Structure 1
Amino acid sequence: MNRRRGARMYPADVIMGDDRLTTSVHAARRLRLIGAGRVVLLAAAVFFAVTTLAGLRDASSTVNQIDRWLGNCFSVVAGAFCMLRAILVRGERLAWAALGTGLVFYGAGTIYFTEITNRVEAPSPSPADIGWLVFYAATCVSVILLLRRRVTRFHPSVWLDALVGGLGVAALASGLAAAAIGVDNPVGLSVLGLNIAYPLADLMLLVLVASVFGLRGWRPEKAWWLLGGALAGFAVADTIVAGAMAAGTYSPGGPVEVLWVLALVLPACAAWQRAPGEMPERIAGWEVMFVPVFFAVTALVLLVLGAFVKLPALTVILAAGTIMVALVRAGITFTEVRQLAESKLQARTDELTGFANRRGFFERLNEEELRSNGTVCFALLMLDLDRFKEINDSLGHQVGDDLLKLVGRRIEAALRPTDLLARLGGDEFAVLLQDADATAARTVAERVLAALGSPFDVDGVSFHVDASIGVAVYPDHAVAGNVLLQRADIAMYTAKAARSQIEYYRPGADLHILDRLDVIETLRAGLGQDQLRLHYQMKVDLRTGNCHAVEALVRWEHPTRGLLQPNEFLPMAEHTGLMRTLTLEVLGLALDQCRRWWDAGLQIGVAVNLSAPNLLDKGFPAEVKDLLTTKGVPPKALELEITETALMLDRIRTAAVLGSLRDMGVRIAVDDYGTGYSSLAYLRELPVDVLKLDKSFVIHLDSDPLSAAIVQSTVGLAHSLALRIVAEGVETETAMGRLADYGCDFAQGFYLGAPQPADELTPLLWHRNHRRCSPQDGGCAPSRLDRAAAADLVVDRVEPARAGRAWT
C-alpha cells in the first residue's frame, strides 16, 4: 500500500488495510464503552459508600434493596472487567483471567451468603466460604503470573524469602486467631481453620505484593499500586470481621462493607492500566530484605511471648520454622556477600597475570591523588613491549599470554613493596610509584629494564623482549590522575619512536603523538594503494668492480607530505603490526623491477629487508615462492636481509623459515652485523649466506685502528665459515682500497652511489657492468673509480638499445 510523504502515520494494526482499519475503529469503540463502564462502576461504589456511611439504608427500603443488589454485583462486575481485559488485550491474559475468575467466585460466594443463608441454615464451612477461598487462591496465581512477566529469573534467596514470609504469616495468623478465640475455647477445627484462613490468606497476599514492591525497588507501575490497595483493603476488613465474629458483635454494614467494595473495584481499574514496557530485573537492595527480616522478628517476638502467655503449639512450631528458614537465608546472604567481595576483587584484577586491571589501577590512582592532595609526589610508569604483536601473531596467543605472565613477574620483582603494577591491556603495563619523584622513577624504570634484559624461555623457545617506558610525575606533569596517565603514555610513545627506552613527559609532545597517529592511519590506508616507492643502492664486487646486486630501500609517497624516508614511518609500522604487509608489498615491487632488468639483459639481483613477523611466520616461504613464480624471477636473484635482533626472537622457528627459503635457492644475509647479539653460535646453526658488516665499523676504517682490526677479523671469520661479506657505509676511496686489501667481497655506500630510483640507476648499471677497461685507467680496479667517474656514468648511457624499457 503506497503512502504519500507527510501522510499521518497510524499504528501497525491500522495501516495494513481497510479491514484492519475497521477493526481498530471497533477496538476504539470497545475501549470507550469499557471506560464508561468503569466510570459507572466507580459511581456505583461512591453511591454505596455514601448511603452506607450516612445510614440511609435504615431510612429507605429502596436504598436498602439497591445497596444489597450492588453489594452482590460489585465482585461479579469487577471480575467481568478482568475477563474482558484477558479477552480483548494481548499480553498477561492468563493472569487477568485468573483474577477475574477469582472475583466471580467471590461474588458467587457473596450472593450465596446474602441470599441463601437468610432462608436456610448454612453449614460451616459453607459454599460461600469455598467461593471466597477460591478468590484468594486465584488472586495468588494472578499475582505470581504478573510478577513472572516482570522478573524472569528468581534468585534462590527469593524463594527462601517467600518461605520465611509464608511461615511467618501462618505463625502470626494462628497467634492472632488464638488471641481472638482463646486457646481453651472449645470450637471445632473447621471454625478455627476458617477464622485463621482468611487473615492468613490476606497476609499471604500482602506479603506477596510487598515482595513484588521490593523486587521492583518500590517503584512498580500503577497497576501494582491498585492491586496492593485492594489486597490491603481485604486484609483490614477480614481482620475486623474475624475479631467481631469471635467476640459475637459482628453486624452487616458500616465502614467494613465500604472497605470491601473498594477492594473489589480497584482490581477492575488495575486490569485496564497501560501495560509497562520491558523493565530491567532488579533483585537487589535493602527492600528485598524487608519481608524476611520483618517476619523473622515477628516469629522471634512470638517465641518470646510464648514464655509468658500460653500459645498454641501450632503457633510455636510455625514461629520456630520461620526462625530456622531465616537463619538459612542469612547463611546464603553471607555466602553471597563473600562471593560479591570476591567478584569485586576479580573485577579489579587482570585475569591473565593476576595483577590489577585498568579499573583497579584507576581506583588506586584516584585514591593516591586524593592522598597526595597536590603536595606529595608520586609517579606513573607506562611500559609497552617492543615487537610483542609480532610474537603474538606469529607464534599464537598462548605463547603471547605465557610471555606476558613472565614479563609481569619480572616487572613486579623490580618494584618496591608499595608500588602497584597493573596490566592495562595487550602488552601495556602501568606502574604507580608512591612517594616517588623523577629521580626515583627513573631508578625503578632502569631496574625494570634490567630485569627484562635476559631472555625469556616459553615452552623451550627463547625470546629477547625489549620495552619502552614513559614517565610522568605528579604534580610536575599533571595534577589529575587521568591526565597524568595520558602523559605517561605519550612519554612511552616518545621513547618508542626515539628507541631511547626511557623518556619523561615533555610539554608539546602531545602534538607529536597526534602527528604520529595521523601517520599511522594514513600508512594503514595507503598500503596496497601504490604509495610505496623503492630506491636501489648498488653492491659492488671489489674484485671486478661490477655490480650484480642492489639493495631495495623503501620510501613512502605520503599524500600530503611528499616523499618520506624510512626512519619517518618504519618504526611506527613496526609498532602497529603493519610491517608484515609492508614487507610483502616491498618484495613484490622489488621482484617486478628485477624482472624488468632481466628482460633488458641486466642480470641484477635484489636484496630486500625482512621484518621479524616474516621470520616467525611459517607461511612466509610459501608466499615468497608464489611471488617468485608470479613475477617470473629465479630464486637466485633474490636475497633476503635480516637483523640479528630479529634472529634472536625465536631461533628454532627462524631456522625453519630460513631453511625453507634457502632450500628454494633464495640467499640469506645478516644485516647490520656487529650491532646486535653477535654470536658464532647462530652463524653455525642458521642457514646464512652473507654477512653485512655494519657501517659503524667501516666509516672509521681510515682513522681508528681498532675498527680496522674488527673489520679485518670479521672478513676472516666470514670466509672461514664459507660466508661472503658485504661492507656497508663505504664513504672514501681509502676505505674501499683497504676493504679490497682485506679480501672483502662486496662494498656498499655513498662513495659508490646513493640509493636511487630504478630509472636513474639503470644506466649506471649498464655502464659499470659493460664498460671496457684500459691500462690508462689502471684496469677495472674499483679503487680507481672516483665520484667524478661515477657522475659521468649517469650521463653516458651506453648501449641504450639493449637497456630498452628497463630504464626509459
Structure 2
Amino acid sequence: MSVHTARRLRLIGAGRVVLLMAAVFFAVTTLVGLRDVSSVVNQVDRWLGNSFSVAAGGFCMLRAILVRGERLAWAVLGSGLLSYGAGSIYFTEIMKHVGAPSPADIGWLVFYVATCVSVILLLRGRVIRFHPSVWLDALVGGLGVAALASGLAAAVIGVDNPVGLSVLGLNIAYPLADLMLLVLVASAFGLRGWHPEKAWWLLGVSLAGFAVADTIVTGAMASGTYAPGGPVEALWGLALVLPAYAAWQRTPREMSERVAGWEVLFIPVFFAVSALTLLVLGAFIRLPPLTVVLAAGTVLTAIVRAGITFTEVRQLADSKMQARTDELTGFANRRGFFERLNEEETRGGGAARFTLLVLDLDRFKEINDSLGHQVGDDLLKLVGRRIETALRPTDLLARLGGDEFAVLLQDADATAARTVAERVLAALDGPFDVDGVSFHVDASIGVAVYPDHAVAGNVLLQRADIAMYAAKAARTRIEHYRPGADLHILDRLDVIETLRAGLGQDQLRLHYQMKVDLRTGSCHAVEALVRWEHPTRGLLQPNEFLPMAEHTGLMRTLTLEVLGLALDQCRQWWDAGLQIGVAVNLSAPNLLDKGFPAEVGELLTTKGVPPRALELEITETALMLDRIRTAAVLGSLREMGVRIAVDDYGTGYSSLAYLRELPVDVLKLDKSFVIHLDSDPLSAAIVQSTVGLAHSLALRIVAEGVETETAMGRLADYGCDFAQGFYLGAPQPADKLTPLLWHRNRRAYSSSSGEGGCPPSRLERVTAADLMADRAEPARAGRPWI
C-alpha cells in the first residue's frame, strides 16, 4: 500500500468518526430537547439532520471509486442515500409541513429502491448462484409484509375510515418498504449460513432503525399526533450513518458455495404462518379485502415454495445416491463402499465378521491405452456384470476406480471368501465381446478378513489390496493377506518408481541365448533377454521387475528400449562378420499399437539392420487380446520382412485358428513339454506331433528348455528345426557370447558356405570346456522374458 493511499484511508476513517460523533450529538440534543431551548442548537440539528444521508452517500460513492470490487452495489446505495438527503432538504427547507405527496416522497422512495438493488448486488457477489426458491422466498416475504402492514393499518385507522386507502398508499409505503428490505437482508443472513460479515449486520441494524422509526411516524400520522423531532429523528440519524461504516468493511475473498439451506426457510415459514393467522382472524373480525387477498397470496406462494422444497429434497436424495454410485458401472463407488464398510464395522457392537475382496484386472491398461477408453469402459461394464453373477444377494460390489473392484462379503470367513473368489474368476474366464472384438480378461484377487487381519475398515481394505498385489506378483490369482506383506508392497512401489526413472538412462542390460540349428549345429540367431542394473540392488533378473512393469504400463517403453539395444548389438555382430539374427519379445501394448510397425521400421533404418535379422516373439495370451488389431500390426511387420514367432506355444489357448489367421513364421514349443522328453512318453508324443503340425503349416519350430544331450538328440530325430536351452548355452552378455558364436560357427565361416553353415548331415557338438563356459550363468526358474 502506497503512502498516498494510506493517508487517504486515514482521512476517510477520521471522516467517518466525525460523522458518527455528529450523529451521537444529534441524538443527544434531540432526546434531551435542547433544540427547543436554544435556537442555535435547533439550527445545527436541522443542518445535521439534512447532512447525514448526504455524508453517508458520499462515503459510499468514495468506496465505489477508490476500492475495487462491488463498486456498482455501493455506488447504487450511495446514490440512494443522496436521493434521500435531497428529499429531506426539500421537506425541511421548502415544504416545512406534513401534507400530501411531494417531491420529497420521490427522493425518499428512490432510496428504498436503490437500497433493494444494492442489497441484491451485494448478495450476488457473495453467493455463487441462487436457487429459484430464493426468489419465491422474497415474494412470500413481500406479500406477508404487505398483508401484515395492511392489517396493522386497518387496526390503527379503521376499516371504514374514508381516508384509509390514501393513508395506506402514502404512509404505509415507508414501513412496508423497510420491512421488505429487512426480509431481503434476513434472506441474505440465511443464505450466508447466519454467519454474515459485519457489513450485513450494519445494513440490517440500519434498516431495522428505519422500520421502527417509519412505523412510529405512520401510526402518529394516522392518529393526527405527528410532530417533527423527538426520538424518531434520533433513530433516523443513526440509521443513516451506519451505511457509511458498512461500505468500508472488508470484502470476503471467496464466494460462498452455500446457496440455500434449512435456515432460509425461516422467512417463508414465518410469513406463511402469519398469513394463515390473518385468514383465521378474518373469520372473527372484519379485515380489509386487500389484507385478505395479500394473506391468501402469501399462503399460495408458500405452497408453491413447499412444492419446490420437496423437489429439491428429492433431488438431494438422488444426488446423494449418485454420489455413492459409480457412474460407469452402476455399482457402489469408493464413497458408497466405505459407508457400507463403516456400517459393517459397527454392526453387532463391533462383533461382526466380514471379508473384503479386492480384484484388479491384469493388463487392462494395455487395452485401455491401445484401443481407447470407450472400449475399456464397455469392457469394465461387462466385467462388473460377470462379477455380480458370482456374488450372493447380500454381498456389496463396488468399483474403487480404474480397473479395481472391491467386494464386501457379509458374514464370511477366509474359506467362504476363497469360494466366492474362485466363482468370480470362473465367471471371468469366458471371452468378452466388445463391438465384435473378443477379449480374454485375467484378474488377481486379494482377500482380507475382519477382524483377523485388521479391526479398522480402511486398514482392512489396504491389506486386501496388498494381498491382491501379492497374487499379481506370484501369478497365483488369489492370495490372502499375510502379516509382513506390507513391507513387500513398499519394496514393489520403490522398484516401480526407480524403474520408471531409470528407463532411458542406460540401466537395462541384455543377455543373449543361442538358438542352435539342429541340422547343422550352427547358430545364426539369439534371443535377447533383459536384465536391469538397479542403482542400489545390482543386476535384477526379469521376474523381479517385469511383472510390475506390465502392471504399471511401462512395458511399451521398456520394449522399445530393449529393441534398440538388441539392434545395436546385432549391427555390431554383422559388422564383425557374424550374421546373427536377434529375437526380441513383444508386450501386448506393442501388438495393439498401430504405430508400432513404423517405430520398428525407423529403428531398423537408424541402426542399419536388415529386417530379416529381426524376429519378434509374442505369447498366445497377447495374441488373443484383439486378434483383428494384432493381425494388422503383425501383417505390417511381416511386410517389412520381420519374422514373427509364437512364444511358449502349448501353454496358452493353443488354437489352430490363429495360426491360420495370423502371419506367423515360427512356433516356440514351451519348455514344460521338452524338459520331460526323456521320461514322459506323453510329452514326447506332444512334441513330435507339434513338430509335424508346424511343418505342415510351413512353420519352423524351436524347442525351448533343452537341458540334456538326449533331449537334443530326440528333437533332432523328430525333425525339430532349432533348440534353445541351458545344455546349449545359458544367456550371456554379448562380450562373453561372441567367442562362443565364433567357435560354434567356425566351420560355416571358414568354408564360406554362407548362412547355411556346416553340411546338414553333421550335428556339431561343442567340447566339454565350451559347455562349461556356456553354463557359467546358473539356470533360472520360470520362462525367459525379453
| Superposition TM-score tier, normalisation by shorter sequence | over 0.9
Contact 2:370–2:593 (CA under 8 A) maintained in structure 1: yes
Q: Which has the higher contact order (CA 8 A, sep 6+)?
A: 2
d(CA) in 2 for partners of 1:301 and 1:384?
64
* Structure 2: stretches of 5+ with no match in the other structure: 752-757, 777-786
Q: Confirm or deny: 8 A CA contact 2:345 2:352 kept in the other structure.
A: no
Stretch moving more, 188-197 or 332-341? 188-197
2:288 is aligned, of 304, 312, 324, to 312
Distance in 2, matches of 1:520 and 1:495, equals 17
Structure 1 CA distance for aligned equivalents of residues 22 and 705 of structure 2: 108
- CA offset digits 1:83-139 (Å, max 9, x no partner): 444444444444334333333443343344445445xx7651233333332332232
Identity over aligned residues, as a percent? 87
Deviation for aligned residue 1:236: 0.8
Asked if 1:346 is matched to 2:322, the reply is yes
Matches within 5 A, 1:347-366: 347-366=323-342
Which position in structure 2 is the counterpart of 1:234? 210
- What is the deviation of 1:444? 0.3
Picking from 666, 676, 700, the partner of 1:700 is 676
Q: Work out the CA distance in 2 between the residues paired with 1:638 and 1:83.
A: 82
SS at match of 2:653: coil
Deviations 1:562-609 (CA, angstroms, capped at 9, x unpaired): 111111111111111111111111112112211222222222111111
Mark the CA change 1:461 to 1:53 in structure 2 (over 3 Å): closer, same or farther: same
Q: Aligned-pair distance for 1:158?
A: 1.4
Q: Per-residue deviation at 1:249?
A: 3.0
- Any conservation in 2 of the 1:125–1:191 contact (CA below 8 Å)? no
- Aligned AA (2:454): A
Residue 440 of structure 1 and its aligned partner are, at CA, apart by 0.6
How far, CA to CA, are the matches of 2:447 and 2:241 in structure 1? Answer: 72
Distance across 2 between alignment mates of 1:490 and 1:778: 57
Shift in CA distance, 375/80, structure 1 to aligned 2, threshold 3 Å? closer
| Residue 269 to residue 555, structure 1, CA distance change in 2 (3 Å) | closer
What's the offset of the Cα at 1:560? 1.4
Match of 2:53 in 1: 75
1:53 is the counterpart of 2:31? yes
Of residues 643, 653, 660 in structure 1, which corresponds to 2:629? Answer: 653
- Cα–Cα, structure 1 residues 467 and 86, in superposed 2: closer, same or farther, change >3 Å? closer
CA distance in structure 2 between the aligned counterparts of 1:448 and 1:96, rounded to whole angstroms: 66
Please name the residue that 1:412 is paired with. 388
Deviations 1:690-734 (A, max 9, x none): 111111111111111111111112112222222221111111111
Match of 1:333 among 297, 301, 309: 309
Query: In structure 2, which of residues 634, 638, 642 is the aligned counterpart of residue 666 of structure 1?
Result: 642
- Looking at structure 2, the residues matched to 198 and 59 of structure 1 have their Cα atoms a distance apart, in angstroms, of 31
Matches within 5 A, 1:106-505: 106-118=84-96, 123-187=99-163, 189-505=165-481
Opposite residue 485 of structure 1, the aligned amino acid is: L
Does the residue aligned with 1:618 lie in a helix, a strand or coil? Answer: coil
1:96 aligns with 2:74: yes
**SS of the residue aligned with 2:621?**
helix
Structure 1 partner of 2:520: 544
Q: What is the Cα deviation at residue 380 of structure 1?
A: 0.5
Cα offsets for 1:210-246 (capped at 9, x unmatched): 1222222222222221221111111111111212222
Q: How far does the alpha carbon of each residue in 1:255-309 deviate from its partner, in whole angstroms, 9 at most, with x for none?
A: 2232222222222332333444333242122221121221111211111111111
Counterpart of 1:751 in structure 2 is 727
Asked if 1 retains the 8 angstrom alpha-carbon contact of 2:128 and 2:255, the reply is: no
Give the AA of the match of 2:695. Answer: H
Q: What is the alpha-carbon distance in structure 2 between the residues aligned to residue 501 and residue 692 of structure 1?
A: 26
Match of 1:587 among 527, 538, 563: 563
Deviations 1:186-224 (A, max 9, x none): 116433311221221111111121122222222222222
Task: Give 1:648 deviation, angstroms.
Answer: 1.4
Q: Name whichever of 29-38 and 521-530 sits farther off.
A: 29-38
Residue 782 of structure 1 corresponds to which residue in structure 2? 763
- What's the RMSD between the two structures over aligned residues? 2.5
Q: How far apart in 2 are the matches of 1:89 and 1:785?
A: 93
The 8 Å contact of residues 764 and 794 in structure 1, kept in 2 or not, is answered as no
Task: Identify the range of structure 1 (49-58 vs 175-184) with the bigger mean alpha-carbon deviation.
Answer: 49-58
The CA deviation at 1:59 is: 4.4
8 Å CA contact retained: 1:715, 1:725: yes
**Distance between the aligned counterparts of 1:532 and 1:352, measured in 2?**
40
| Equivalent-residue separation in structure 1 for 2:760 and 2:379 (angstroms) | 58
Alignment of 1:612 onto 2:593: no
Letter of the 2:378 partner, please give it. Answer: D
Contact 1:374/1:475, CA 8 A, preserved across alignment: no
Question: What TM-score do the two structures reach when normalised by structure 2?
Answer: 0.93
- What do the CA deviations read for 1:299-329 (whole angstroms, capped 9, x no partner)? 1111111111111111111111112221211
Residue 597, structure 1, aligned to residue 578, structure 2: no
**Distance across 1 between alignment mates of 2:595 and 2:589:** 11
2:685 aligned to 709, 727, 740, which one?
Answer: 709
Report the Cα offset of residue 486 of structure 1: 0.4
Query: How far apart, CA to CA, are the structure 2 residues paired with 1:239 and 1:457?
Result: 78
- Residues of 2 paired with 1:668 and 1:572: CA distance? 26
Distance 1:236 1:747, change over 3 A: same
Asked whether 1:521 is paired with 2:497, we answer: yes
- One-letter amino acid of the structure 1 residue matched with residue 723 of structure 2: A
Structure 2 equivalent of residue 18 of structure 1: none
**For 1:100 and 1:570, how far apart are their aligned partners in 2?**
73
Q: Aligned in 2, Cα 1:82/1:474: closer, same or farther, shift over 3 Å?
A: same
* Separation of aligned partners in 1, 2:578 and 2:397: 59
The amino acid of 1:453's aligned partner reads D
Give the TM-score taking structure 1 as reference length.
Answer: 0.91
Aligned residues: 769
Task: Name structure 1 gaps, 5 residues minimum.
Answer: 1-10, 15-20, 796-808
- Native 8 Å contact 1:736 1:783 kept in 2: no
Return the alpha-carbon distance in structure 2 between the equivalents of residues 588 and 95 of structure 1: 68
Report deviation, 1:500.
Answer: 0.2
Amino acid at match of 1:706: L
SS at match of 1:277: coil
Query: Could you tell me how far apart the structure 2 residues matched to 1:419 and 1:734 are?
Result: 56
Cα distance change on mapping 1:311 and 1:674 into 2, 3 Å:
same
| Partner-residue secondary structure (3-state), 1:351 | coil
The structure-2 alpha-carbon separation of the partners of 1:760 and 1:256, relative to structure 1 and needing over 3 Å to count, comes to same
Provide the C-alpha distance between the structure 2 equivalents of 1:112 and 1:708, rounded to a whole number of angstroms: 118
Residue 750 of structure 1, CA deviation:
1.2
Which residue identity does 1:697 align to in structure 2? F
Deviation by residue 1:453-504 (Cα, 9 ceiling, x = unmatched): 1111111111111100000000000000000000000000000000000000
For residue 78 of structure 2, give the secondary structure of its aligned residue in structure 1: helix
Contact 2:740 2:770 in 1 (8 A): no
Among 35, 48, 59, the alignment partner of 2:13 is 35
Secondary structure at 1:577 match in 2: coil
Q: Is the 8 A contact 1:737 1:783 kept in 2?
A: no
Does the 8 Å CA contact 1:604/1:637 hold for their aligned counterparts? Answer: yes
Q: In structure 1, how many angstroms separate the alpha carbons of the residues matched to 2:447 and 2:519?
A: 53
Shift in Å, 1:745: 1.5
